[in-house]
């Protein structure tokens, strides 16, 4: 039996400060630009203010990209354009600065952290800080076997919680969340289909490296078979992750929930992050208030999950590469919203009204004091 009490997250997670958000909205109404003229940037600035509990909103100064990595046994069924066990090469590219997310992160001056939960390679292949939270090598083939044992699922979930605490304690003020996996989109699609009550074909996409029609049919069949195994355990989210998820997905779910506990905002990347967010929502219904959807990857499973959580993507660029790239592209937008909310001045008529009110508050003695001061000067 697991000693992990997921129900505790419902009590631990609070919504962002509603009073602060109302103050941010009132501040917006007083700014020199007409209300609504900045579109979603206004909404973003107010969301961030509520998450920070501060008006004016503070700039995002210490963001970090956090990537959870793992191999999925289902990749051996021919559902991915990448070879089974190929996550090692993807992680190595990130660490060496040769991947898309590494290039963008350098340009945006954002550090990248990779957390290996289940990459199918010897742990000595990566630096110690990357493999410190590893649970196992690879995850089981979910169409015919469980991805993890229940103990492994709990260990992975707790690892995600620990990583969230590490980030919050280190001063990270916003997380860009992504995955580095092979076969991860298949596991994610199963989770989304199971939690949304849809058929496999509705959530089956082409993946980060697009697959051909034959591979898509294999992927759809694998998701269908895994769904049969998922439905009996829908009432137990940890068991669901153990049955059809994977160590990286279980860790991402724990990470998202603990970020909400620690009031640490998160930008979600693609379908894998969205699927984990959907599981986390089932655990604690207030948790999605702490997340933004960075972009629309074009994966049908992501669209289904975001719709269920009422999260609207910030960008639509068709980025399918994963690795947090789409979410990282949204970071400048969030930073811009914060800057505009904090630095745009208020209208002059509002300032004049304040000055007039201040004069009335001073009363008749204020004029006398001024005259006395002038006389003294003479």
Q: Which residues are catalytic?
A: 323
Two tokens, residue 85 = 């066990």
DSSP per position, 106-126: HHHT--EEEEEEE-SS-GGGS
Cα 74-121-158 angle, rounded to 5 deg: 75
Distance CA 190, CA 203 (A): 8
Two tokens, residue 155 = 């260990």
Q: Is the dihedral of CA 175, 87, 147, 166 positive or negative?
A: negative
Query: Which has the closest alpha carbon to 114: 70, 158, 83?
Result: 70
DSSP per position, 157-226: HHHHHHHHHHHHHHT--EEEEEEEEESHHHHHHHHHHHHHT--HHHH---TTTT--HHHHHHHHHHHHHH
Q: Which residues of 218-253 are buried (b: 16+ CB within 10 A; e: fewer)?
A: bbbebbbbbbebbeebeeebbbbbbbbbbbbbbbbb
- Token pair 């049919």: residue: 217
Whether 247 contacts 118, CB under 8 Å:
yes
Distance CA 181, CA 175 (A): 19
How far is residue 286 from each of residues 14, 181, 289, 329, measured CA to CA in Å?
A: 7, 28, 6, 26
Whether 273 contacts 175, CB under 8 Å:
no
Distance CA 126, CA 191 (A): 29
Whether 222 contacts 188, CB under 8 Å:
no
Whether 65 contacts 103, CB under 8 Å:
no
């Amino acid at each position: 039996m697991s000693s992990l009490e997921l129900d505790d997250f419902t009590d631990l997670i609070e919504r962002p400060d509603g009073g602060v958000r109302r103050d941010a909205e009132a501040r917006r109404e007083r700014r020199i630009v007409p209300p609504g003229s900045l579109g979603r940037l206004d909404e973003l600035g107010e969301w961030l203010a509520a998450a920070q509990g501060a008006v004016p909103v503070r700039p995002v100064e210490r963001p970090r990209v956090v990537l959870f990595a793992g191999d999925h046994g289902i990749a051996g069924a021919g559902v991915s354009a990448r070879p089974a066990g190929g996550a090692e090469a993807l992680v190595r590219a990130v660490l060496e600065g040769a991947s898309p997310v590494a290039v963008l992160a350098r340009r945006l001056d954002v550090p990248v952290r990779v957390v290996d939960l289940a990459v199918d390679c010897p742990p000595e292949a990566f630096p110690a800080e990357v493999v410190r939270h590893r649970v196992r090598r690879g995850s089981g083939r979910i169409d015919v076997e469980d991805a993890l044992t229940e103990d492994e699922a709990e260990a992975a979930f707790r690892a995600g919680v620990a990583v969230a605490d590490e980030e919050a304690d280190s001063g990270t003020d916003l997380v860009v969340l992504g995955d580095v996996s092979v076969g991860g989109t298949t596991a994610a699609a199963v989770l989304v289909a199971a939690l949304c009550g849809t058929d496999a074909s509705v959530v089956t996409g082409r993946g980060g490296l697009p697959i051909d029609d034959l591979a898509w049919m294999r992927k759809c069949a694998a998701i269908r078979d895994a769904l049969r195994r998922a439905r009996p355990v829908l009432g137990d989210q940890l068991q669901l992750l153990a049955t059809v998820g994977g160590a990286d997905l279980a860790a991402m779910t724990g990470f998202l929930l603990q970020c909400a506990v620690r009031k640490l905002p998160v930008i979600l990347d693609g379908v894998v992050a969205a699927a984990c967010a959907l599981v986390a929502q089932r655990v604690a219904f207030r948790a999605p208030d702490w997340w933004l959807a960075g972009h629309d990857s074009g994966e049908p499973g992501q669209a289904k999950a975001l719709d269920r959580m009422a999260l609207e993507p910030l960008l639509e660029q068709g980025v399918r590469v994963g690795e947090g790239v789409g979410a990282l592209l949204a970071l400048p937008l969030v930073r811009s919203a914060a800057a505009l909310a904090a630095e745009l001045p208020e209208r002059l008529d509002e300032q004049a009204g304040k000055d007039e009110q201040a004069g009335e508050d001073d009363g008749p003695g204020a004029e006398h004091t001024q005259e006395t001061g002038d006389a003294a000067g003479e």
